[in-house]
Chain A
């Protein structure tokens, strides 16, 4: 019976699209999506839900759940998710859903320890059920739906112009709205659009069911983040953000509630960041996310005060800042340079953090960061990144700079990883960009920086181009920076790209979620900087043997799963290093990065290996093209990691290994360099 990998079974009538909300007597017909990796639990829950007269859809993989939700944004009323899942942490899923779809999410777990429950609360869960879940507990979940709807409904009534579809249609043009020049025009255009749309919306809203939910698509969210960053997270008020975003049909209330969530998210990140500092990557990605929102000098300084800003944090911060600040003014080259230098990353980090931190009080990240950077610079940086203009001199600075850049772009996960990685090259990577690096033994959770990346596609292009040039240099040469930013931007939209690697050695909690879920098929992982290839290699190797935990190489976290799958055959496997967290049992689909790689490899038997070897070879030799292509796709986050490493080292290491074949990483979390051993070619 197995619910099997990645399969979704629907019980009851199709929830989908057609009916918006319960047709008949509420709460009967409530459309519930239940996500749990344990098939037994899933069966029981489904049965219970049906007994409550709900429409239940089962899902045993978080990625699948996300894609279901994305495909059918109005198809579900509430989501029930397990906390511990192999492919993605339940909390990450929770965040994604909260940000993108704004659905009520209830967490479940056999774990009733206070801190886990607290985590649920801080991540925005509507409720937390202790397993085994009883029928009575499920009977009342409809209240969360009503509660949320009431809130949204109220927004709609007030604004009268909420439209799900419309938002998505927006083609965010980051560059445009970011630049201040448009300021005046947005208002006008926005007003106009609102007026035009209001009547329609109003009608729709009033007539349709009560679920005028604004769907925060990736693009929309990116716009939001860009706007918020531009204003400064502290000063970001919904009205201004709304204007900046210039999305017709979006109301101030929508923005307000989204902002609230976002702030919570940032806060959470910063909190986690602290943890990350200690070695778990968990926090980093998130930290960057939150922190970058606005860079202020003050904040930066505050951060600098703190003192211990681990490189990774910086990187993360930077990455976050990078991603986020797209909207900020362009950083002067000089500033940028500073940014890139090792110290600067810190600052940036601080800045980003500060913003966030000041709000939240977690300032850990910035400890000790010299605040050389001005937030503005940082902001500029981001902005440049976004608009891809950043070609900062940073690149020139040398790997450090790059790494920073990279880091910035990449959600901190990278940085975290970096720290953990014992390998030489690992250390090199100053800040991993969101790449989930599996450090030896530590659980790192790389969260994808999805949020930060404001710019979308364009940066990617820039990145790739630059990337190729800088390949030798650091994984993300500045040239790459732009790329990075783009990547980062890409990443952001992706919300899903979080690559979380929970270090725990065997822990299945690593969430490597490459973000793919989405549409990005890009081969992000082609991150291709040599680092990437490297990862892939490793990955490839690993696959042969082991179970994920062995592949310490997490690095590459390339992007999304998609790429992995695709790439599997085609080219470098996105070595998303998932490694560690992978429990062998779960990975059937490449949903998570690491998994993807592994599964890809495994699935294909070892035949992929040869390909991989070859691919890798090709890869190394010709990284540039690769980089471009894929990297940028949403998973940027993941990809970015590789850049961190010293390109040269990596390259040489890789090349060397290539000859020998893919190295299988046997040791758990053994990051030292990339042990390429038997790369079957």
Chain B
């Protein structure tokens, strides 16, 4: 079980879905906070969903307010990087660059890509945490996300 978990983790890292920050979070997890990483991920998905709604709305405006989009994305990027969501973070950076260049099409395109990465990571993390719960310490309550 643990081995499976470790290999899943490794593959997520290797494929670039997650980065070193995620490992840091896992290292913070201890007996007093046995589901720390999962809680963080849950918090992230909650906040980022809201942030993405804001971005969606902002993208619907015409003309696009690039400054606002840049700021919104900055927030989103901060959250994403704090859990180690590497691909998502990269797309965010790209998005911000398009904002600064005033490239509306580039923004939209990147954002679509970002959403895909975001969804993919979410699924992968769900699988990961499920496995972690099974493999983890006994006191871990398996709490559905």
Residues on A lying within 8 angstroms of B by beta carbon are 1-2, 37-41, 43-44, 47-48, 51, 82, 84, 109-111, 131-135, 443, 504-509, 549, 583-585, 668
Contacts and interface: CB of A to CB of B under 8 A. Distances in A.
Given A38-B47, A44-B28, A110-B81, 6 more contacts: A39-B43, A134-B24, A443-B67, A506-B67, A506-B69, A506-B72
A134 B46 CA distance: 23
Contacts of A443: 67
Contact of A1 (B25, B39, B74, B78): B39
A505 B68 contact: yes
B21 A47 contact: no
B44 interface: yes
Interface in B77-91: 77-79, 81-84
A40 B68 contact: no
A506 B33 contact: no
* Residue from B72, B82, B84 having most chain A Cβ neighbours under 10 A: B82
Nearest to B77: A110
Contact of A585 (B27, B50, B81): B50
Interface residue SS majority, chain B: helix
B56 interface: no
6 contacts: A40-B43, A40-B47, A40-B82, A40-B83, A84-B74, A507-B71
Given A39-B47, A134-B24, A506-B67, A1 B42 contact: yes
Interface in B93-116: none
B71 A585 contact: no
A508 B28 contact: no
Contact of A507 (B24, B25, B68, B78): B68
A504 B71 contact: yes
Contact of B40 (A44, A504, A549): A44
B23 to A, nearest CB: 10
Contacts of B82: 38, 40-41, 44, 131-133
Contacts of A132: 21, 24, 81-82, 84
Contacts of B25: 44
Given A40-B82, A110-B77, A507 B67 contact: yes
A227 to B, nearest CB: 40
A526 to B, nearest CB: 31
B46 A2 contact: yes
Given A131-B82, A585-B50, A1 B67 contact: no
Contacts of A84: 71, 74-75, 78
Interface string B109-142: 0000000000000000000000000000000000
Contact of A38 (B36, B39, B75): B75
Contact of A47 (B28, B46, B71): B28
B54 interface: yes
A38 B65 CA distance: 23
A131 B81 contact: yes
Given A40-B47, A506-B68, A131 B78 contact: yes
Contacts of A134: 21, 24
* Residue from A41, A443, A585 having most chain B Cβ neighbours under 10 A: A41
Interface string B16-33: 000001001101100001
Given A40-B79, A110-B74, A131-B82, A506 B58 contact: yes
A40 B38 CA distance: 11
A103 to B, nearest CB: 24
6 A-B pairs with the lowest CB-CB distances in the bound complex, closest first: A506-B68, A110-B78, A507-B71, A504-B67, A40-B43, A132-B21
Contacts of A82: 78
B24 A135 contact: yes
* Residue from B67, B69, B81 having most chain A Cβ neighbours under 10 A: B67
A634 B78 CA distance: 34
Contacts of B28: 44, 47-48, 51, 135
Given A47-B36, A84-B71, A132-B84, A505 B79 contact: no
A611 B28 CA distance: 51
B139 to A, nearest CB: 18
Given A507-B71, A508-B71, A583-B54, A43 B40 contact: yes
A134 B25 CA distance: 9
A410 B47 CA distance: 37
A585 B46 CA distance: 13
B119 to A, nearest CB: 18
A331 B42 CA distance: 63
A528 B116 CA distance: 51
* Residue from A132, A509, A668 having most chain B Cβ neighbours under 10 A: A132
Contacts of B74: 84, 110-111
Nearest to B29: A47
A132 B20 CA distance: 10
B93 to A, nearest CB: 9
A605 B67 CA distance: 30
A135 B75 contact: no
B61 to A, nearest CB: 9
Contacts of A48: 28
A583 B71 CA distance: 10
A85 to B, nearest CB: 10
Nearest to B70: A507
Contacts of B78: 38, 41, 82, 84, 109-110, 131
